[in-house]
């Protein structure tokens, strides 16, 4: 079984925040792949489906970002899920907007949701880092992540969420590199080659 976690803060006040891109991505995955309706458990909301022949539990912790690990740890213990079978989608300041990077393990890099999950589950889980860009000044980080995406940002945000949702079965299959490449190509399609002229 795979545990697919989106990070964010609960409630309508935070729904459009940059910090909630993990929630947005998991919502679209659940919608697109015909998961069961959301239900409340493990201090969060869960939905289930089978993707690529693997049972998948989607989880949105409702604990607020800084305590996300409590919810994730509870779900892991209940289903006896190995950390390597946990995939966490979240906002990454150190990546340019619309960039996606996948990695296994590592530190929290200042992300409180990831720090909390490490505290409850150890560091050896899969991370899908969704770039939101850095405001350029450390003092502006909190207002940046806790404010809504600007209208202009929807031009890259929606295609990013769509591409992540479409190709997430590759992550479930353990094909991390293919997932990353497919998302990149969806957002940066190669230029079309000019048609060759027919020879006389």
- Per-residue tens of pLDDT for the chain, all 200 residues: 999 999 999 999 999 999 999 999 999 999 999 999 999 999 999 999 999 899 999 999 999 999 999 999 999 999 999 999 999 999 999 999 999 999 999 999 889 999 999 999 999 999 999 999 998 888 899 899 999 999 999 999 999 999 999 999 999 999 999 999 999 999 988 887 776 665 55
Residues 6+ apart with CB under 8 A from 97: 131, 132, 133, 153, 156, 157
**What are the catalytic residues?**
19
**Residue in this structure with the two tokens 């899969």, named with its chain if needed:** 126
Q: Which two tokens stand for residue 41?
A: 């458990």
Q: What is the pLDDT of residue 112?
A: 94
**Strand, coil or helix: 48:** strand
Q: What is the pLDDT of residue 200?
A: 56
Q: What is the pLDDT of residue 34?
A: 95
Domains and CATH numbers, the chain: 2-187 (3.40.50.1470)
């Amino acid at each position: 079984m795979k545990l697919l976690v989106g990070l964010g803060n609960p409630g309508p006040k935070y729904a459009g925040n940059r910090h909630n891109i993990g929630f947005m991505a998991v919502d679209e995955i659940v919608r697109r792949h015909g998961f069961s309706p959301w239900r409340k458990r493990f201090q969060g909301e869960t939905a289930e489906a089978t993707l690529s022949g693997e049972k998948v539990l989607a989880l949105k912790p409702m604990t607020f970002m800084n305590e996300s690990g409590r919810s994730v740890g509870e779900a892991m213990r209940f289903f006896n899920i190995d950390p390597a079978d946990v995939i966490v989608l979240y906002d990454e300041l150190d990546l340019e907007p619309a960039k996606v990077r996948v990695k296994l393990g590592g530190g929290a890099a200042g992300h409180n949701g990831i720090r909390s999950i490490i505290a409850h589950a150890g560091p050896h889980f899969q991370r899908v880092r969704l770039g939101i860009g850095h405001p350029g000044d450390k003092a502006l980080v909190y207002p940046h992540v806790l404010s809504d995406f600007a209208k202009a940002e929807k031009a890259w945000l929606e295609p990013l969420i769509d591409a992540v949702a479409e190709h997430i079965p590759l992550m479930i299959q353990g094909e991390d590199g293919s997932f990353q490449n497919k998302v990149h190509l969806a957002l940066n399609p190669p230029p079309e080659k000019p048609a060759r002229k027919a020879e006389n």
